């Protein structure tokens, strides 16, 4: 009688796992962090000259000073953006020498209205840059040389063009030229008896059109109010 056979266990071949391909280690990726852009710097104001805030200007014409002619001017700016200024001036040489046989006596009073193209606007100093003006003046004189001379009165009016620039913190230099009309009556005389008596010879009038004034003025800006 046949014996029952034991079931034969299947012998399974061991499965060999294929090696999983390994990815090479990746280098750490550096993340670029965008830095915030710096805030724009505030806009710089126009060029500032000394940050002075004067309230008036006093001037003298150096050309007249060199001719021994004392003179003084006062100028003040005004109006919107200080485009305008008003100036008043006086000349006052009053000399006699050689027992009155020579005289240099001139009294001149004048005024001028000016328009400045580059006025004081908070960034530039006042009375700075180019300007044009209209002036009027009048006065009297006695000019005598060796007991012969002329006495008279005059009026003058015309236009001015000039330029002023910084010289120091409180000082400007101003260059200007004026042209127009000057004229008036005068009397020609001779001095007698040691010039104690002036003998009138004749009376005339003169008229002149052309250059009437030239200035190289030293300007003192007074004050520094805040």
Q: How far apart are CA 174 and CA 164, in angstroms?
A: 4
- pLDDT range class, residue 1, cuts 50, 70, 90: very low
pLDDT digits (tens, 9 = 90+) for 179-219: 999 999 999 998 887 677 788 888 999 999 999 999 999 99
188, 201 contact by CB (below 8 A): yes
Distance CA 161, CA 212 (A): 12
pLDDT tens by residue, 10-59: 555 555 555 555 655 565 555 555 666 666 666 555 455 556 778 999 99
| Structure-token pair, residue 5 | 């056979």
Beta bridge partners of 91: 71, 108
Our CA dihedral for 101, 104, 105, 110, rounded to 10 degrees, sits at: 160
- Going from the C-alpha of 179 to that of each of 69, 152, 158, 210, 211, the distances in angstroms are 20, 21, 5, 5, 4
Per-residue pLDDT, 193: 76
Extract the runs of DSSP E, i.e. beta strands, from the chain.
56-61, 71-78, 84-91, 94-97, 102-116, 129-145, 148-168, 171-192, 197-222
The bridge status of strand 102-116 relative to strand 56-61 is unpaired
pTM (2 decimals)? 0.73
Predicted pLDDT at 35: 62
Domains of the chain: 56-222 (2.40.160)
Q: Return the sign of the alpha-carbon dihedral for residues 194, 139, 157, 69.
A: positive
Q: In this structure, what token pair is assigned to residue 3?
A: 């014996």
d(CA 89, CA 108): 8
């Amino acid at each position: 009688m046949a014996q029952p056979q034991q079931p034969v266990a299947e012998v399974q071949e061991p499965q060999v796992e294929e090696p999983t391909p390994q990815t090479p280690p990746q280098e750490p990726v550096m993340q670029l962090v965008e830095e915030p852009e710096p805030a724009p710097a505030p806009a710089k104001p126009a060029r500032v000259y000394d940050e002075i805030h004067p309230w008036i200007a006093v001037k003298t014409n150096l050309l007249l000073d060199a001719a021994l002619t004392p003179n003084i001017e006062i100028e003040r700016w005004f109006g919107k953006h200080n485009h305008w200024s008003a100036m008043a001036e006086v000349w006052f040489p009053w000399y006699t020498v050689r027992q009155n046989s020579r005289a240099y006596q001139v009294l001149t009073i004048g005024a001028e209205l000016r328009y400045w193209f580059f006025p004081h606007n908070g960034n530039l100093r006042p009375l700075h840059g180019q300007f044009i003006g209209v002036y009027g003046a009048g006065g009297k004189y006695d000019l005598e040389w060796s007991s012969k001379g002329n006495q008279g009165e005059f009026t003058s009016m015309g236009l001015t063009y000039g330029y002023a620039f910084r010289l120091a913190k409180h000082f400007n230099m101003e260059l200007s030229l004026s042209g127009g009309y000057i004229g008036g009556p005068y009397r020609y005389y001779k001095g007698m008896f040691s010039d104690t008596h002036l003998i009138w010879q004749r009376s005339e009038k003169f008229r002149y059109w052309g250059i009437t004034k030239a200035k190289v003025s030293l300007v003192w800006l007074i004050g520094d109010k805040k």
